[in-house]
Amino acid sequence: MTIVAELTSTINKLATKGKGILAADESTPTITKRFQAVGIESSEETRRTYREILMTTPGCNQYVAGVILFEETLNQKTNQGVPFPETLKNLGILPGIKVDKGLVHLANTTDEQITQGLDGLPERLAEYKSKGACFAKWRAVYAISNNTPSKLAIKTNAEVLARYAAICQEQGIVPIVEPEILIDGDHTITHCEEVSEPVLHAVFNALYRHKVKLEYIVLKPSMIINGKACSQKASVNEVAEATVRVLRRTVPGAVPTINFLSGGQTPEQSTAHLNAMNQLGYLPWNLSFSYARALQDYCMKTWAGQAKNISAAQAAFYKRAKLNSLAAMGKYTELMEKEEVSHA
């Protein structure tokens, strides 16, 4: 298969209306922290078991088009000895891989960060592809304060995201481009909108300079929302309208799908916001989800590391996947939160 044929096949599946992407690519320190918060011991085996619970939830392939894996998970197998990427492909779900190497201090800034991991990326991508990965993810992070993000952080992160995306496409791997504007802080939704627009402009200018084909990327942005510590809480409609307004100003129509991160929102909030956006009328792109905690939270708490809870945990994951699938089509209602959803 040619590179273009590979990219086309992958993006067509990832951009399927009503399907989203599960982010199950938490690094070992991150998932350890989440496990500890609900009383689960973090070991290679508990992490493997938990990811298997998510991936083998009956019926989830109706709502999930792809799963982003961490490197450890890419190399793990199910209880039956089947590699996770193969398990996903057998279910019609595409395996993806987080390829960045985390955040480091951006020199000559105050507390701003840059993402590392470009060195050796082509070789790593070739290895991941040989193990079944079809798409990749790279996250850049921007904090909002009175003087951040700086022009230096905006421009440098955009350049790195574009270099990563170009390297992915050269390997026949669809890049998820993730510029995350953090929800930490007391900023208003207006301030978030003012910051988000130049961030996304810079990202797309850099993608253009690096000759990245926009038809074969997934954009994974934050929603435009007030900071967690802000006293003025934006309504669901305000978040939806501000987010779509910024996307219309910055994201070319060539981008096939925008899959939001949930970034500190509750599961219910992230579903309601996505639904409201999809009710705003014609949009040039598919708007869907690529959530981690907003899909997994209830599942992890329900499982609590106990084998006897696996079925209930899978039911909790199935419900969130289904509700977000409906939100991606503008068909979700708050009443559905109270309804029992039995998984297939």
- Domain ranges, ordered by start, for the chain: 3-337
**pLDDT, tens digit (0-9, with 9 covering 90-100), for 208-258:** 999 999 999 999 999 999 999 999 999 999 999 999 999 999 999 999 999
What residues does 66 pair with on adjacent strands? 21, 94
**pLDDT, tens digit (0-9, with 9 covering 90-100), for 28-57:** 999 999 999 999 999 999 999 999 999 999
Would you give per-residue pLDDT tens digits along the chain (344 residues)? 899 999 999 999 999 999 999 999 999 999 999 999 999 999 999 999 999 999 999 999 999 999 999 999 999 999 999 999 999 999 999 999 999 999 999 999 999 999 999 999 999 999 999 999 999 999 999 999 999 999 999 999 999 999 999 999 999 999 999 999 999 999 999 999 999 999 999 999 999 999 999 999 999 999 999 999 999 999 999 999 999 999 999 999 999 999 999 999 999 999 999 999 999 999 999 999 999 999 999 999 999 999 999 999 999 999 999 999 999 999 999 999 998 776 65
Cα(5)–Cα(328) distance, rounded to whole angstroms? 26
Q: What is the reported pLDDT for 44?
A: 96
The CATH number that domain 3-337 falls under is: 3.20.20.70
Q: What is the reported pLDDT for 343?
A: 60
Q: What is the reported pLDDT for 1?
A: 82
Q: What is the reported pLDDT for 342?
A: 63
Which of the residues are catalytic?
178, 220
Q: What is the reported pLDDT for 322?
A: 98
